[in-house]
Structure 1
């Protein structure tokens, strides 16, 4: 940076900037990826708050006019992913590889594992709903609804959103892990 009114150094035309220091690529990648992962973790927290709200209002009925659906086992297991998500947020402050690995493995096991198992196990219910709806026999069965919407469809919408959030979170966490591990200084004894 030059002062106003100062002159350029003699013998240069200003094109000799190639030798100057540049930001290493792993630092650039890390600073670009961290805010994206934070947003995804916060979205996960918002969805977890919805599930917690459903569980609490089912067990402690506050409003009697709304029929809250019974929570499923997968919801309780999926809420365990809040712990790895907190580890993921804490890992980004000082590039803690161990905490990021806890986030990664916890999200795979309790997040994606639980959600994908739920999607596969309940797929027959979704196909049954679709078949009954296409044959106009849905009135005979009376599917479980929430505020007038079929519950199975609402669950699958929720599950698809959660799969996307977890998948993108794992992608971002993988980028950060590779960025942090690539240039980690080795300890010398």
Structure 2
């Protein structure tokens, strides 16, 4: 009986050992990190996520570039931002000039058509008539901005000097004797709604000169930006 019990025990132990040795080799390889193992779908997704995370550490990258041209792209972006800012400033100045022009045109129309008494609105000075042509550079400026038209912007700058600045200089000289008389004797013979016409028009000249000076200045800077962008495109 004893020998029979030992024989049965050996047989049971042998079956258990063979079962453990016959386990799926792929599981053992997977535990050992065998290079020939086939990854499961979940393992593949985890690996892709890790690779994606490692690749994204460098930050977002523009399509079609390896990131080495970032200096050029930053330069183009700065040119674009400067151009947008200059256009915005020029538009604001153009709107202010339109308001001044409307007031001047209203005075001329009211005086010529005798819509009100000259004691209420005085007759315009001589310089105010050529100043009405200052609408020309503003129109060309508005036309030049949307499509970056260099020719229109140049015309706007040149005509601004002729039709805006020149009449204002002439007007300050024309009204100077009247302003001197008002300062010395306190007498004025022209009025605009009860105010001395020469005082009102000198105030208009001071504002208009600043508006047109900034218009020409910003237009020149914008023109330089456009020329720089054009040269960069030709180099490509």
TM-score under structure 1 length normalisation: 0.81
Give yes or no for contact 2:121–2:191 (8 Å, CA) kept in 1: no
Aligned match of 2:53: 9
| Match 1:125 to one of 178, 195, 200 | 178
Aligned match of 2:33: none
How many angstroms apart in 2 are the aligned matches of 1:64 and 1:157?
23
How many angstroms apart in 1 are the aligned matches of 2:94 and 2:132?
13
Offset of residue 175 of structure 1:
0.9
Matched ranges for 1:148-167 at <5 A: 148-167=194-213
How many angstroms apart in 1 are the aligned matches of 2:116 and 2:177?
32
| 1:22 correspondence with 2:68 | no
Aligned match of 2:10: none
Size of the aligned set, in residue pairs, is: 175
How many angstroms apart in 1 are the aligned matches of 2:219 and 2:210?
14
Q: 1:72 to 1:121 in 2, by over 3 A?
A: closer
Larger radius of gyration: 2
**Residues 146-178 of structure 1 deviation map (CA, whole Å, 9 limit, x = unaligned):** 222111111100110100110111111111111
Offset of residue 30 of structure 1:
0.6
How many angstroms apart in 2 are the aligned matches of 1:168 and 1:78?
17
Aligned match of 1:41: 94
Residue segments in structure 2 that go unaligned for 5+ positions in a row: 1-48, 62-66
Offset of residue 100 of structure 1:
0.3
Of the two structures, which has the highest relative contact order with CA contacts closer than 8 Å and spacing of 6 or more? 1
**Residues 13-52 of structure 1 deviation map (CA, whole Å, 9 limit, x = unaligned):** 4579885442523222111110110111111111111111
TM-score under structure 2 length normalisation: 0.66
How many angstroms apart in 2 are the aligned matches of 1:179 and 1:67?
48
Offset of residue 115 of structure 1:
0.4
| Match 1:181 to one of 209, 216, 227 | 227
Q: Which moved more, 1:31-40 or 1:18-27?
A: 18-27
Q: Which has the higher helix share?
A: 2
Matched ranges for 1:71-86 at <5 A: 71-86=124-139
| 1:61 correspondence with 2:107 | no
How many angstroms apart in 1 are the aligned matches of 2:142 and 2:80?
18
Residue segments in structure 1 that go unaligned for 5+ positions in a row: 1-5
Aligned match of 1:98: 151
